[in-house]
A and B are shown apart, each in its own frame.
Chain A
Amino acid sequence: MAGTSMRYFEARGLTVNYDRVRAIADVNLAFDEGQVASLIGANGAGKSTTLRAITGLVPLAGGEVWFDGARIDQLPAPRRVEIGVAMVPEGRRVFPQMSVRDNLLMGAYARKDRGAIASDLERILVRFPRLKERLRQGAGTLSGGEQEMLVIGRALMSKPRLLLLDEPSLGLAPLVVRDIARLIIEVNRDEGMSIVLVEQNSRMALRVSQYGYVLETGRVALEGPSDNLLNDPKVKELYLGG
């Protein structure tokens, strides 16, 4: 791509099939370092599939993923974690029979700088005091909000440069959703971390992010600065409840 300047993250023409049924087609995403980009859309629009394609959980039928100047879509999934792409999956997926501490340590599995893990654990527990109180407890016994904190903390333990969050607000009470939103803003601000936020809670996602994408049946139907999308009549009607 000589001549054109490349963005920090670019997904170009992402296409994914499940058993020959197309889930997403020609999805293009691009944002700069330290940005929060949101991905909104209805059930089955292809939001999770887009994230899975970026992390390598599903194979691409077409397209490329570029991160910090390197093409990553041909790397095996574990390598992508090593170079700093972490994902918090839909439905949280803590390791329920493991302690909170072991869940967090699993997050650091792929790190090369093992000496720094202990101090990072301390640092993360300062951000999540609730987890610190429950360090020895089984993760399956935590409340939904605590589990969401745990999986975000677990992802942070990998020291990511790009954090992908799949519906962190799913099934949480409004007050807890506010905590999560504040957390995302803080992580982005304090660590300068780039974030892709997938949400059905479109209002929250567009408030937290600087740039937004609207997916419809596997394609990007609309994109733009989040403030513009928040005021877009079509977005308002379809995704923000009128």
Chain B
Amino acid sequence: MEQILVNGAILSANYALIALGITLIFGIMNVLNFAHGQMFMIGGLIVYTVCVVFKLPYAVGLLAAAVIVGLIGMLLERTLFQRVMRISSREENTMLLAVGTALLLENIALYVFGEKQRGIPPMVSGVYRLGSAFLPANRLLVFAISLALIAAVLLFVNFTRQGRAMRALAQDRTATMLMGVDVNRISMLGFGLGAALAGIAGGLLISVSGVNAGIGTAISTKAFIMIMIGGAGVIGGALLGAVALGFAEAIGYALFPGSVTYLLIFTALILFLLIRPQGIMGKPWG
């Protein structure tokens, strides 16, 4: 029981980084980022490269994952999404574009890194006991870093000038322009921040369970599940969805054989969406 709580909390924190990232991008740009899992995967493989191939410290790897994946996000936003959004008024076009970028990133990763599952040795060793639960020090560190980053993102979005502009842009583009905001720049920053969070989440998870070039779609699927539970584009909803999925997984894996857990999660999700299609904190309109 206590083990389930510990595992659930650790998973939730990592998932929250994924859900926050995809929510920022969806909220600000109205783009469902199908490439989110691929960004996560690239973040993990960057950490692998920095730490295992170049033998540099983990902190350097994590920073590189954040910066490089963030820059990839900004580049994609500026060169692809901004243009498609300008010249096309149909929303599915940006969705198709996002699917295309997911395939592109995945194939680049396959080409560069191969198909092998990659992991890194734990950054810290040792195991703590929490009642009857085991808590490896490495997972505790991952958990702490995740929580710190979640707090930093929430502070940024809620209390800084640029964060406020991102929230404003998510609500009313024209009014935001009238405030003197360079909305293209803020879009690019928001996309970059969302991507960087995916990269960091991948860079954290690789030290726990490893990452391979094909993991992206599974991660994107988890991201979608979380925002479906919580409500798309709502930051509180993203966090709620992450906690729900993290604990559902932890409970499921403790009670059922592997593949049954996600079968149950999907079944429950569909039943839930029949009752509340907008998610727990989502708005039924718009």
Contact = CB atoms under 8 A, between A and B. Distances in A.
B182 A78 contact: yes
B172 A86 contact: no
Given A93-B172, A95-B172, A109-B161, A87 B178 contact: yes
B178 A57 contact: yes
Interface stretch (A30-38, A97-105, A179-187, A188-196): A97-105
Interface stretch (B47-55, B163-171, B188-196, B262-270): B163-171
B168 A106 contact: yes
B181 A95 contact: no
Interface string B187-224: 00000000000000000000000000000000000000
A95 B172 CA distance: 7
Interface in A42-66: 55, 57
Interface in B14-73: none
A204 interface: no
Contact of B178 (A79, A81, A97, A98): A81
B168 A93 contact: no
Interface in B148-180: 161, 164-165, 167-168, 171-172, 174-180
B175 A89 contact: yes
Contact of A81 (B161, B164, B174, B179): B179
B175 A93 contact: yes
A71 B199 CA distance: 45
B164, B172, B178, B180: residue with the most chain A Cβ atoms closer than 10 Å:
B178
A82 interface: yes
A89 B177 CA distance: 11
A105 B165 CA distance: 10
Contacts of A158: 179-180
Contacts of A6: none
A95 B178 CA distance: 12
A109 B167 contact: no
A5 B164 CA distance: 42
A77 B3 CA distance: 56
A180 to B, nearest CB: 19
Contact of A109 (B171, B172, B174, B181): B181
Contacts of A212: none
Contact of B180 (A82, A93, A97, A105): A82
Contacts of B174: 57, 89, 93
Contact of B168 (A77, A78, A79, A95): A95
B163 to A, nearest CB: 10
A153 interface: no
A98 B167 contact: yes
Interface residues of A, number: 26
Nearest to A52: B174
Contact of B177 (A78, A82, A105): A78
Nearest to B283: A97
A96 interface: yes
B177 A77 contact: yes
B177 A109 contact: no
A55 B178 CA distance: 8
A106 to B, nearest CB: 5
A187 to B, nearest CB: 17
Given A102-B164, A109-B165, A96 B171 contact: yes
A107 interface: yes
Contacts of B180: 77-82, 109-110, 158
Interface string A96-130: 11100010011101100000000000000000000
A49 to B, nearest CB: 14
A67 B161 CA distance: 28
B183 to A, nearest CB: 8
Contacts of A110: 179-181
Contacts of B167: 95, 97-98, 102
A109 B175 contact: no
A89 B171 contact: no
A186 to B, nearest CB: 22
B186 to A, nearest CB: 10
Interface in A119-145: none
Contacts of B172: 93, 95
Given A98-B171, A158-B180, 19 more contacts: A55-B178, A80-B180, A89-B178, A93-B174, A94-B175, A95-B167, A95-B168, A95-B175, A98-B164, A98-B167, A106-B168, A106-B176, A107-B179, A109-B180, A109-B181, A110-B180, A110-B181, A154-B179, A158-B179
14 contacts: A57-B174, A78-B177, A78-B181, A80-B180, A81-B179, A89-B178, A94-B175, A95-B172, A98-B171, A105-B164, A106-B165, A106-B179, A109-B161, A158-B179
Interface of B: 161, 164-165, 167-168, 171-172, 174-182
**Which 6 residue pairs across A and B have the least CB separation, nearest first?**
A110-B180, A81-B180, A93-B175, A78-B180, A109-B179, A95-B171
